[in-house]
Amino acid sequence: MRTSRRLLISALTVVVLTVAAVPLLNFTVYTPARAAEAYISAIEKGDAQSAFSYLSTPTPSSTLALSDEVLSAAPDLPRDPEAKTVSVDGDQAKVRLSYNLSSKEQTVDLNMVRLPASAGLFDRWAIEQQEWPTLSLDVSGSSTATVNGYGVSTGDVPVLFPASYLVGFDATYLKSKSQRSEVTAPGDSPTVKLSPEPTAKLEQTVEKQVTDHLQDCMKSKTLMPAGCVFGYDTDNEIIGDVSWSLERSPQIGLSSSGNDLELTPSTVEVRVKGRYRDIVTAAEHDFDEKLSFVLGGSVVVKSSQVSFEPRRLGDVAIA
């Protein structure tokens, strides 16, 4: 009985001492500055879930880039956090936070908000974000991109700060070089613009489309094949059908300029054969002409569909 009473007294003593120590701990340990430093430490470890506990923020429009995996794959994360509480006004506080990112010291002023106390006793502070920092991804020719190697939708992508991010895309037909972007403060929203470059698969697809287009043109029985960028012009009367053949195929290559994809200009040679009646003498003759022209054109990739629009560059020459 005496033992139980002693244990009860000891427990009550611990509770009293703990309650008495709460104001001191809240003043020295559970401070806005310590919360800001703990947030940076969580980011440094790639621990997104822990970092969330130090944020007071609206629900993000997307969580694809708010994962441990994306954060851990960052090319650089903050180090050596040092924070100072500038002011406290009720449940609001201001903190000046310094840290190193990409070998540069960064300093940012943060608004902090007091959350419901832990265990009903100890203060909890969080960084107040009115909106999420984002990467604004402007990607031509693709509705998706990668952030630190993980797939996201293009547009405004919510991310955690501070961190460095590698943004790129590598789709079936288009790819881009990765660009590095840093988000250093809650209000950051850097724009990352990626220009498309053709993949080997796109060049193969365009080559097939060009080949199919020219082969269809070779099936024509007239001097001016419908939908083709070449033809044979004469004042003489053509007798019967003509025949076309492809003598020299173009060398297929693609080039990009901004958001535009173009077929690299290449010389094509075709042969046309037939019979004609001379407009002056009315005599009939066979003809066999070789024509050459420079083939160009535009290539469009949309919704994973490839279309090629041929264009003749210059007049047809008779060899």
CATH code of the domain covering residue 162: 2.60.40.1120
Look at residues 128, 163, 180 and tell me which one is the last residue of a structural domain. 128
Answer yes or no: do 124 and 139 share one domain.
no
Helix (H, G, I), strand (E, B) or coil at 231: coil
Instruction: Note whether residue 287 is domain-resident.
Output: yes
Answer yes or no: do 185 and 227 share one domain.
no
Q: Which of 160, 137, 193, 183 is nearest to 63 (CA)?
A: 160
Which pLDDT does position 316 carry in this prediction?
74
What counts of helices (H) and strands (E) characterise the chain?
5, 20
Instruction: Note whether residue 190 is domain-resident.
Output: yes
Which pLDDT does position 171 carry in this prediction?
83
Which pLDDT does position 258 carry in this prediction?
64
CA distances to 82, 104, 138, 184 from 39, in Å: 11, 19, 30, 13
Answer yes or no: do 209 and 190 share one domain.
no
Which pLDDT does position 160 carry in this prediction?
97
Answer yes or no: do 107 and 140 share one domain.
no
Which pLDDT does position 40 carry in this prediction?
97
Cis bond before residue 162 (omega within 30° of 0) = yes
Name the band, by pLDDT with cuts 50, 70 and 90, for residue 15.
very low
Which pLDDT does position 5 carry in this prediction?
52
**How many angstroms separate the CA atoms of 207 and 187, rounded?**
46
Backbone Cα Rg of the chain: 35
Name the band, by pLDDT with cuts 50, 70 and 90, for residue 25.
very low
Answer yes or no: do 187 and 266 share one domain.
no
Answer yes or no: do 29 and 61 share one domain.
yes
Mean pLDDT across the chain, nearest whole number?
88
CA 3 to chain centroid, in Å, comes to 68
3 pLDDT more than 50:
yes
Answer yes or no: do 207 and 311 share one domain.
yes
Which tens digits make up the pLDDT trace of 32-80?
999 999 999 999 999 999 999 999 999 999 999 999 999 999 999 999 9
Name the band, by pLDDT with cuts 50, 70 and 90, for residue 197.
confident
Average pLDDT over residues 4-8: 50
142 pLDDT more than 90:
no
Answer yes or no: do 138 and 155 share one domain.
yes
**How many angstroms separate the CA atoms of 236 and 228, rounded?**
22
Instruction: Note whether residue 110 is domain-resident.
Output: yes
Instruction: Note whether residue 309 is domain-resident.
Output: yes
Q: For the chain, what is the domain count?
A: 3
Answer yes or no: do 37 and 90 share one domain.
yes
Look at residues 102, 128, 154 and tell me which one is the last residue of a structural domain. 128
Instruction: Note whether residue 19 is domain-resident.
Output: no
Instruction: Note whether residue 3 is domain-resident.
Output: no
Neighbouring C-beta atoms of residue 3, cutoff 10 Å: 7
Which tens digits make up the pLDDT trace of 202-258?
999 999 999 999 999 999 999 999 999 999 999 999 999 999 999 999 999 998 776
Which structural domain, as residue segments, surrounds residue 170? 134-194
265 pLDDT more than 70:
yes
Q: For residue 275, give both structure tokens.
A: 């019979």
8 A C-beta contact, residue 262 and residue 296:
yes
Instruction: Note whether residue 15 is domain-resident.
Output: no
In terms of pTM, does the model score above 0.85?
A: no
Answer yes or no: do 124 and 151 share one domain.
no
Instruction: Note whether residue 5 is domain-resident.
Output: no
CATH code of the domain covering residue 119: 3.10.450
Which pLDDT does position 189 carry in this prediction?
95
CA 136 to chain centroid, in Å, comes to 9
